Structure 1
Amino acid sequence: MSMPLTTDPGAPFSQQAEEAVVGAVLLDPSSFVNVSAFLHSEDFFLLRHNYIWAAMSRLSERNDAIDLLTVAEELDNYSQLEAIGGQAYLIQLTNNTPTSVYAEVYGHIVERTAIRRRLMEAADQIKQLALDEEKNIDHVISDAEAQLFSVSDMQMKRDFVPMWEALSAYYDRIEELLQNQGQALGVPSGFKDLDQLLGGFQRSDLIVFAGRPGMGKTSFLLTTAMNAARVGARVAIFTMEMGVEQMVQRMVAMETGINVQKLRLAQLTAQEAARFTEAVGRISNFPIFIDDTPAMSPLEMRTKCRRLAHEHGLDLVMVDYMQLMNAGRGYENNRVQEISFISRNLKEIAREFNIPLISAAQLSRAVEQRQDKRPVLSDLRESGSIEQDSDIVMFLYRDEVYNEATEFPNQADILVSKHRNGPTGTIQLYFEKRLTKFMDASVHRVDLSDLE
């Protein structure tokens, strides 16, 4: 028997499946295209089959025919023909393979055993990491997660989707929307005009919500999270700026209408205490999950999202905020590359879990130097890749922050400056500073011609 690729005698593999998939391709070379889309030479446990599949791959890349003669010649050119048992072994494989029809079935069996072997190898490496007491525990955890994801990420590769299949899914989606007119297409923000402009937050979209400090970015995220949770959306909030208690305090203020300062000092009247108790009972049923781990890495965030999606389901992820994340080792001296890495990974998380991901972001101080303080896309801090990776970029602007004598002290403008799949525009909201809460603005339009 051929030498295995690993010396572990307990490593899982299926000799019959390996022989069958190689034999099936020799019987029907056209099946190689479909099987090679997911099966690679390193997936084979037995070295002889690894050599044969690698030879077939090289022939396919050169557009050469795959048959007994060409495969044997290719192996001979690499001095591997004798190692696999000569041309006689190739003939034996074709004779022992019952049919080429199930080539993909055989291939998936080989693939599954390969994944199990990689998991075992990752487990061994994680064990060695854990035994290294000189290594920082945070680095141990990060490296362990990287080992595990190196296995799982290989399964995330996508294949071509034929047009009929893509159109069928799209048709079903449009038909569903036609039967539910008036509903947001995605996860609703709870703000009427914003949902009308965006159609709700769409699956796999990265939405960047940016503003200068003190504008109310966190308050907007929390208001939106509560609005989404109120209709059943399962929301994950990663906060690196505030602790869980501060976030919950703001939520309670929004729900009860009690001033944040009074809640902080526990100076409540009997009526307010009753409202507080009622609100806590109501909010506790919201499917909102908060993680306040500081300086979280995208890899750690992906791990936690995967766990949450498995245990409870996941419809929306919020990050507060992007620039407080940590890309890990290798980016300590280049902040621009670090933010580029983080924004790209946030987009990958949105796509992997097929959910909208909303991330707050800071703006550069360039805004303060201008006469017009309204932010623009070039104000996104530290990396142009934030604009590139995002599907939607929204800015928060409150004139009251810069102009105390403003005519609209409670007005907050949401500037949708980039919308990859739709229109841009400006939405007015009402900001209740006492409660740090955003609400739909009540707009009354008056035709001045009637006054003449």
Structure 2
Amino acid sequence: MGLRRAQALRTERGKQGAFVGGEASGLGPDGGTSSRQAEAELQDERDLLSAMTRSRAVVADVLNIVSAGDFRSPAHGLVFLAVLEAYAGDGPLDPAAVSAALAGRGDLEAIGGGAAFDKVMSADARAGRAVKRAHRVRQAAVRRRLAEAAAVIDHAVASDAPIDDVIDLAENTVLSATDPDQVLEVPPFCDVLEGALDEIEAIGSRAGLMSGVPTDFADLDALTNGLHPGQLIVIGARPAMGKSTLGLDLLRSCTIRNAMPAALFTLEMGRNEVSMRLLSAEARIALHHMRSGSMTEDDWTRLARRMPDVTGAPLYVDDSARTLTEIRSKCRRLKQKRDIKLIVVDYVQLLDYGLRQFASRYEEINEISRHLKLMAKELDIPVVAISQLNRGPEQRTDKRPQTYDLRDSGTLEDDADLLILLHRDDAYEKESLRAGEADLIVAKHRNGPTATITVAFQGHYSRFVDMTRD
């Protein structure tokens, strides 16, 4: 019966290809673009601009596809900006309006004068082909930038730089080539302040709604207002306290409760174990029933009821990454392709930095901690790093963990924006009056007060819940 039920609950998932093909790049044997390909690209640009000057609908369709920097000809980039200026105005959108915008910007002579502008305007202006041409202009721009990036990477590979630095340079160079719209200049403080005021106003307009990724623990969310982009959140505990379970609880809240994409990098559990724990927590089925094959009819019914929500959750689980270099690379791709909102790494002490050698494990963990924080800022998402504690709590009369108990590192505490130490009295004293309770000790909170939050530990369901929840 159980086997048939399990088969009935399985869902088919399509396999995504690892490579998406495209048109030939047009790169010649010397790495440069052939003259024929270059002229084809320029003609696409002229056709696109000509179509844009005759239809507001065309401008609206291609506005999110191309930018001024995508044009091979700088003159065409200037015409594109003039089209956008005319499009934003109240008057008609036609070649005369664009020409006037160019003259008003002082760019008409820069593009070669009226004759050069007329050449653009005489191109094919059929609106039906504009979107396709916009995609071709964008693709050609990416190919050119990738060719430039390849030269930079080739130079770095030939240098004596550490391999990890070369990998970082390669990834950032390729990402910059595919997403060039990044801030390259340091903004003045007035711009930063304006952004902060906008955020304060937006928070106030939400009337108490969560501004960060919700944790599904009411008191913790009230204290932190969720997990915020750029934060490094460290969860520390002794073995068998439930720190991996707490990390999964945060992921369940993010992906299942709130439909936000998230990623788990687990060095301790396999994917099947992660799946079973998630199903146990969501369906309220004792984990040992799943493992022993003793699930009841009620268990199968609850599992069937929760399966659609669990299988539809935008959660990405990786149990193969073993180095920080691998994790950073995968996170960048996930951020770019899936727009993930939360990363959980379980756990730091099992992680290696990469190919660089360190004098001690202490120094390596410190470097891992620093780069996890930098990754959170780079990707602008919260990163949860689960950490082991040393044996300090066992050696004290009061078993409650302290910040200095973090194992193999002096910087995890320093780098963390939020440090949560997990403690359970019944892990040390089976007859404890607080059996089934757990303390989330917020020992460091960079943006607010610290506190100790008591939650219920339902180990048989592999989850923590609020004390007031059934």
Same fold (TM over 0.5): yes
The correspondence of residues 323-402 of structure 1 with structure 2, limited to 5 A, is 323-331=349-357, 333-402=359-428
- Tell me how far apart the structure 2 counterparts of residues 338 and 318 of structure 1 sit (CA, whole Å): 19
**Are residue 159 (structure 1) and residue 190 (structure 2) matched?**
no
2:215 counterpart of 1:189: yes
Cα offsets for 1:388-445 (capped at 9, x unmatched): 11111110000000111211101100001111121111100011121121001139xx
Are 1:149 and 2:183 counterparts? no
**Secondary structure of residue in 1 paired with 2:461:** coil
Distance 1:372 1:160, change over 3 A: same
Moved more, 267-276 or 315-324: 267-276
Q: Choose the corresponding residue for 1:423, options 438, 445, 449.
A: 449
Gaps of 5+ in 2: 1-28, 35-108, 111-140
The separation in 2 between residues aligned to 1:248 and 1:114, in whole angstroms, is: 43
2:344 & 2:205 partners in 1: Cα distance? 30
Give the whole-Å Cα distance in 2 for the aligned partners of 1:286 and 1:216: 23
Q: Cα distance, 1:153 vs. partner?
A: 8.2
Q: 1:403 aligns with which of 405, 410, 429?
A: 429
Residue 226 of structure 1 aligns with which residue? Answer: 252
Deviation (angstroms), 1:329 = 2.6
Deviation of 1:115 after TM superposition, in Å, equals 5.6
How far residue 147 of structure 1 moved from its aligned partner, in angstroms, is 5.9
Rounded Cα–Cα distance in structure 1 between residues aligned with 2:325 and 2:183: 17
Contact 2:413 2:419 in 1 (8 A): yes
Paired residue for 2:151?
A: 121
Is the aligned partner of 1:258 residue 2:285? yes
Corresponding position of 1:312: 338
1:120 CA displacement: 2.2
Q: Distance in 2 between matches of 1:190 and 1:218?
A: 16
**Does the aligned pair in 1 maintain the 2:421–2:442 contact within 8 Å?**
yes
- For 2:337 and 2:442, the matched residues in 1 are separated by 34
Alignment partners' CA distance in 1, 2:390 and 2:223: 27
Say which of 285, 301, 306 aligns to 1:279. 306
* 1:145 Cα deviation after fit: 4.2
Q: 1:247 to 1:371 in 2, by over 3 A?
A: same
Q: Deviations over 1:308-343 (max 9, x none)?
A: 122221111111011111112333541011101111
Match of 2:327 among 301, 322, 327: 301
Matched residue of 1:415: which SS? strand
Q: Equivalents in 1 of 2:328, 2:173: separation in Å?
A: 14
Taking a change above 3 Å as real, the CA distance of residues 172 and 143 of structure 1, as seen in their structure-2 partners, is closer
Amino acid at match of 2:265: F
Separation in structure 2 between the aligned mates of residue 148 and residue 294 of structure 1, nearest angstrom: 19
Give aligned-pair identity as a percent: 32
Matched letter for residue 263 of structure 1: M
Q: Deviations over 1:93-130 (max 9, x none)?
A: xxxxx87xxxxxxxxxxx999964553236768999xx
Q: CA deviation at 1:304?
A: 0.8
Aligned counterparts of 1:269 and 1:254: Cα–Cα separation in 2: 16
CA distance in structure 2 between the aligned counterparts of 1:319 and 1:423, rounded to whole angstroms: 25
Q: How many residues align?
A: 333
Is 1:240–2:267 an aligned residue pair? yes
Q: Which amino acid aligns with 2:218?
A: K
The answer (yes or no) to whether the contact 2:146–2:174 under 8 Å persists in 1 is no
> Is the 8 Å Cα contact of residues 115 and 151 (structure 1) preserved in structure 2?
no
Mapped partners of 2:215, 2:308: distance in 1: 23
Structural mapping, 1:59-74, within 5 Å: none
Residue pairs, 1:193-208, within 5 angstroms: 193-208=219-234
Secondary structure at the residue paired with 2:216? coil
How far residue 160 of structure 1 moved from its aligned partner, in angstroms, is 2.3
2:267 & 2:184 partners in 1: Cα distance?
32
Q: Is the CA contact (8 Å cut-off) linking 1:12 and 1:113 kept in structure 2?
A: no
Aligned-partner SS, 2:302: helix
For 1:158 and 1:320, locate their aligned partners in 2 and report how far apart those are by CA, in whole Å: 34
- Flag the 1:12–1:333 CA change in 2: closer, same or farther, 3 A: farther
Quote the offset at 1:224 in angstroms: 1.4
Shift of the alpha carbon at 1:146?
Answer: 4.7
What is the correspondence of 1:211-222 to structure 2 with a 5 Å cutoff?
Answer: 211-222=237-248
**CA offset at residue 346 of structure 1?**
0.6
Structure 1 runs not aligned, ≥5 long: 1-7, 14-97, 100-110, 129-138, 444-452
Distance in 2, matches of 1:118 and 1:326, equals 32
RMSD: 3.3
Shift of 1:183: 1.5
Q: TM-score, normalized by length of structure 1?
A: 0.67
Change (3 A) 1:407 1:334: same
Contact 1:118 1:151 in 2 (8 A): no
TM-score normalized by the length of structure 2: 0.65
